[in-house]
Amino acid sequence: MSSPVIHAHHAPQGFIRRYVFSLDHKVIGIQYYFLALFSVLVGMSLSLLMRYHMIHPDAKVAWFAKLWPTAAQGGIMTPELYLSLMTMHGTIMVFFVLTTAPQSGFGNFFLPLQIGAEDMAFPVLNMLSFWTTFLALAVMVAAFFVQGGPPLAGWTAYPPLSAVPQAGPGEGLGQTLWIVSIAIFCGASLMGAINFIATTIDLRCQGMSLMRMPLTCWTWFVTAILGLLGFAVLLAAGVLLILDRSAGTSFFLPAGLLVSDQILNHKGGSPLLWQHLFWFFGHPEVYIAILPGMGVTSQILATFSRKPVFGYRAMVFAILGIGFLGFMVWGHHMFMSGMSPYSAMAFSVLTMAIGVPSAIKTFNWIGTIWGGRIHFTTAMMFALGFVSLFVTGGLSGIFLGQPALDLYFHDTYFVVGHFHMIMGVAAIFGMFAGTFYWFPKMFGRMLNETLGKIHFYTTFLGVYAIFTPMHFLGIAGNPRRYADFTNFDFLGKLLPVHFFMTQAAYFTAAVQILFFINLVWSLKNGKKAPMNPWNSTTLEWTVPSPPPFDNFAGHHPVVNHGPYEYSVPGAPRDYIMQTDPVDVHAA
């Protein structure tokens, strides 16, 4: 037998090749992570401006006037400005935070490590995909600085508003930049998806069968498939929208539209066509945001309960089930569009069906921690917080999935509360959990646990304080997307609730400073991280923190065990690494 080749690779030495146009999946993962961190700061600032405006619609703020001389003349925010802030908040959060950090950030860094590969399958494509995402973000942010400002049409960009340049400020160049940015982002996501899928299928090390993959890898894999199919459709829809805006076609624009006292030339198109295409992407997008969080949560709950994931196989099939069903329920976003009640019924039943895999996951998470020796680390707290938020947000989804109830709830704050709980905050808790769990591996230092715990408890209380009242507001009939509630009698009585939510938003935003302090301080001064600080089982904990350039220093890991062998009876310690010898029980 020929002796195996050990061939370690050295990192490129130049600064640009090493940190800027790097081909290393770990550097690219960190680049994605920081891109998302920048985006979340922008998105959060926008939401604070919106919350401020809702409770002080008439306030004159001097720096508003400086920042937006036309849209906030005299310092008073116009409703159009409010809508443009809302559009950018939603867009930046959905695309550049929720799609970017959990999948492209953590996934890039840890997928090759967890399956025992030296890098992604196509490193150059990987680098291109990051820089294309960066370009998309730059184009999106540019919309703030063009005449008319950012678009008003919301992150869903419904036509006719989004398709008619003269429909309002921001619907000109701002909306064009928006569509171009999203099209670029689609391209970047497709490149990323190709890499994730090929890597998972072809680059697993010896012994890493599909059913030995950590659940994180399963979620990244399924998320990549969702992204692949979803973003391709969004790209197609975006092309049609651009043509309607600039080439005079009528895909989405009906006849007889009167905009700014002018009858438009378009005829025969249907805005509903956009809604179908958009939500065919848009609903899977929800799972793109949440699935990686589910993977991280499973991983962390098992690690810190010192127990195997309860029902690993069922978890895998639940992930696949959610991914599959995610493509068949887009119509539940359109119950109000005048669709046939029979279609609504079908979409409703399929929507309810997603409750089954979701319940399996929740049940198995509880089964995982049940009777475990739980270590309440910050990562564990955030994972538990994820489960809590997922259940809360999921339950309100059951209401919205019923056409009869949705007719009432549609476009109220109930919807805003629902999707912020499940898609926004739950996914972000998944990111926090991942950050606290993997930071030692990524940067070689431990995050501060005390600061982390304070951050967790305050954030947990804060987000419930912001988003729980929204459900009551929705039941009371408070519409969403309104910039000002003071002109309506029945809404005036609800203003104190809005006041409370705004205060809660200030509080929650303020305590995020703790997280940033923790991040920056620990990068330099955190305790040095050992190779496996949490006594975890998966492959990334078999290499130094941070891992060398080519992950396994030229070695080829061999996997002999499943991903979550904790507290195995007869084993010498309470965890068996995936690479431990087969006969570890006998040792």
Partner 1 sequence: MPGSITSDVIKPPAPPRGGGGFGGGGGSDGRGASRRASMTGLFVLLAATTMAFAAFTSAYVVRRGMSNDWIAFPLPRILWVNSAVLMASSVLLEIARRSLKGGRRSEFNRYWTAGTALGVLFLLGQGWAWKELASAGIFVATNPSSSFFYLLTASHGLHILGGLTALVYVDVEALRLKLGPGKRTAVDVSAVFWHFVDGLWIYLMALFLVWG
Rounded to whole angstroms, how far apart are CA atoms 200 and 485? Answer: 50
CB of 21 to partner 1, least distance (A): 17
Stretch that binds partner 1, among 84-92, 119-127, 330-338, 345-353 (CB under 8 A): 119-127
Q: Is 17 in the site for partner 1 (CB under 8 A)?
A: no
Q: How far is the CB of 89 from partner 1 (least distance, A)?
A: 27
Closer residue to partner 1 (CB): 270 or 402: 270
| Residue pair 92/42 in contact by the 8 Å Cβ criterion | yes
The correct pick among 236, 461, 476, 511 for binding partner 1 (CB under 8 A) is 236
Q: Which of these ranges, 334-342, 350-358, 467-475, 551-559, lies near partner 1 under the rule CB under 8 A? A: 551-559
Burial of 178 from C-beta contacts in 10 A (0-12 / 13-18 / 19+): buried
Beta bridge partners of 576: 565
Check binding of 586 to partner 1 (CB under 8 A): no
| Chain centre distance of CA 316 | 20
When binding is defined by CB under 8 A, the residue of 60, 267, 373, 481 that contacts partner 1 is 267
Q: Which is nearer to partner 1, 198 or 476 (CB)?
A: 198
* Side chain identity at residue 229, one-letter code: L
Give residues 58-117 in contact with partner 1 (rule: CB under 8 A): 115, 117
What does residue 568 show for φ and ψ, rounded to 5 degrees?
Answer: -75, 125
In total, the chain counts a number of residues equal to 587
| 3-state SS record for 538-566 | CHHHHCCCCCCCCCCCCCCCECCCCCCEE
**Gap between the Cα atoms of 311 and 384, Å rounded:** 18
Measured from the CB of residue 282, what is the shortest distance to partner 1 in angstroms? Answer: 13
> Binders of partner 1: how many residues, by CB under 8 A?
76
CA 453/CA 434 separation, integer angstroms = 15
Q: Does 235 bind partner 1 (CB under 8 A)?
A: yes
Residue 267: CB minimum distance to partner 1, A: 6
Q: Does 554 engage in binding with partner 1 (CB under 8 A)?
A: yes
Q: Is 415 in the site for partner 1 (CB under 8 A)?
A: no
Does residue 268 bind partner 1 (CB under 8 A)?
yes
- Quickly count: other Cβ atoms within 10 Å of residue 225's Cβ: 19
Q: Is 481 in the site for partner 1 (CB under 8 A)?
A: no
By CB under 8 A, what part of segment 174-193 binds partner 1?
190, 193
Is the Cα torsion angle 462, 468, 45, 176 positive or negative in sign? positive
Q: Which residues from 272-291 bind partner 1, rule CB under 8 A?
A: 273, 276-277, 280
Q: Which amino acid is at 314?
A: A
122 binds partner 1 (CB under 8 A): yes
**Tokens representing residue 332 in the block:** 């539940």
- CB nearer to partner 1: pick between 122 and 131: 122
Judged by CB, which is closer to partner 1: 67, or 232? 232
Q: How far is the CB of 549 from partner 1 (least distance, A)?
A: 10
Confirm or reject binding of residue 203 to partner 1 (CB under 8 A). Answer: yes
Which SS3 state, helix, strand or coil, does residue 263 take? strand
Binding segment for partner 1 (CB under 8 A), chosen from 40-48, 67-75, 499-507, 552-560, is 552-560
Residue 248, CB-side half-sphere exposure with 13 Å CA sphere: 1
Q: Which residue has the tokens 């905009």?
A: 259
User: CA-CA distance, 393 to 360, in Å (whole number)?
Assistant: 16
Dihedral angle over CA of 46, 150, 54, 337, nearest 10: -110
| Minimum distance, C-beta of residue 308 to partner 1, in the bound complex (Å) | 18
| CB of 538 vs partner 1, minimal distance in Å | 12
Shorter beta-carbon distance to partner 1: residue 107 or 417: 107
What is the spatial distance between Cα 422 and Cα 385, in angstroms, rounded to a whole number? 12
Selected range binding partner 1 among 249-257, 306-314, 391-399, 488-496, rule: CB under 8 A:
249-257
Kindly identify the residues of this chain, within the stretch 125-154, that bind partner 1 according to CB under 8 A.
Answer: 125
- Smallest gap from Cβ 411 to partner 1, in A, equals 24
- The two tokens of residue 458 are 């305050």
Three-class secondary structure of residue 424 per DSSP: helix
- Three-state SS for 580? coil
